[in-house]
A and B are shown apart, each in its own frame.
Chain A
Amino acid sequence: MDNNVIDQSKDITILELLDRVLTKGVIITGDVVISVADIDLVYLGVKLMLSSVETMEQLKAGKAIKEI
């Protein structure tokens, strides 16, 4: 079994990064804030990425279950 648990895969790193920067961190709301349009659309793309990562990880995990 691979002992390297720190993930180096580009997909997961980008997914985790986008999830954080689009939905976490300090947020400012109110009338004085300039809004950026379409951030929701970018996050929708992140959710789609999550689905593909899940499928990939599901395949890996499925293989592990068969092996035990």
Chain B
Amino acid sequence: MIFNIPYIAVAVLILLGLYALIFKRNLIKMVIGITLIESGVNLFLITLGYRKESIAPIYTSSPGGVMAFPVPQALTLTSIVIGVAVIALMLSLVMHIYRHYGTLDVRKVRRLKE
């Protein structure tokens, strides 16, 4: 059970992100929550692909031995770049919202006038 500490770290990261998403009213903090969830998912993928005492799947002057799984690492790489794109789009929308409404509070953004 004590060997599951990485999984517990994943759960804590995702729960922190969910907490920020549910209880915070500031849009920037909500974006931070989404990035926390994304980091948790990335860490989970990497963790699933690890074998005990394994090395990175690279043959150039490698010391030899068991290698970690390459497929989860490659998909995490994809996921990280997609995360950067999504964060850029979200922050742009947040900037647009701030310019339009003059506030970042989601309760005040809800009004429909203008």
Q: Verify that A and B bind, or say they do not.
A: no
Q: Please list the residues of chain A having a beta carbon within 8 angstroms of any beta carbon in chain B.
A: none
